[in-house]
């Protein structure tokens, strides 16, 4: 039997969030910083896929939603049978009530 490692995937809005983060970081700090930030974010995503209960429950925003910080952003995600789905990646200053 083959073991399925936990994985993460991005909802459509989270993919757009990532595109915006990459674009902004490239413009402000350049390619090296953009790559470093995304590499760190991907490592954080895998950490959460492996340990989905690390996040804080955010039931007031949406049923089953959890959040976890990464540098200046907050990852909002839901557990799945074999990992997590990241629904949004919002800057820490953004109001999640308006964007979730």
Domains in the chain, CATH or no CATH each: 7-99 (3.30.2310.20)
Close Cβ partners of 34 (under 8 Å, ≥ 6 residues apart): 22, 25, 26
Kindly report, residue by residue over 14-26, the tens digit of the pLDDT. Answer: 999 999 999 999 9
Per the prediction, the chain carries an average pLDDT of 94
User: What is d(CA 86, CA 14) in angstroms, rounded to the nearest whole number?
Assistant: 6
What's phi and psi for 12, nearest 5 deg?
-55, -45
Percent of the chain with pLDDT over 90: 94
The helix/strand/coil state of 59 is coil
């Amino acid at each position: 039997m083959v073991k399925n490692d936990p994985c993460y995937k991005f909802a459509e809005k989270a993919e757009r969030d990532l595109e915006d983060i990459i674009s902004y970081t490239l413009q402000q700090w350049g390619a090296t910083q953009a790559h470093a930030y995304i590499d760190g974010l991907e490592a954080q995503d895998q950490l959460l896929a492996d340990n989905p209960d690390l996040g804080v429950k955010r039931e007031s925003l949406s049923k089953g939603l959890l959040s976890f910080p990464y540098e200046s952003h907050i990852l909002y995600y839901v557990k799945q049978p074999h990992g997590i789905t990241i629904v949004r990646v919002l800057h820490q200053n953004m109001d999640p009530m308006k964007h979730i």
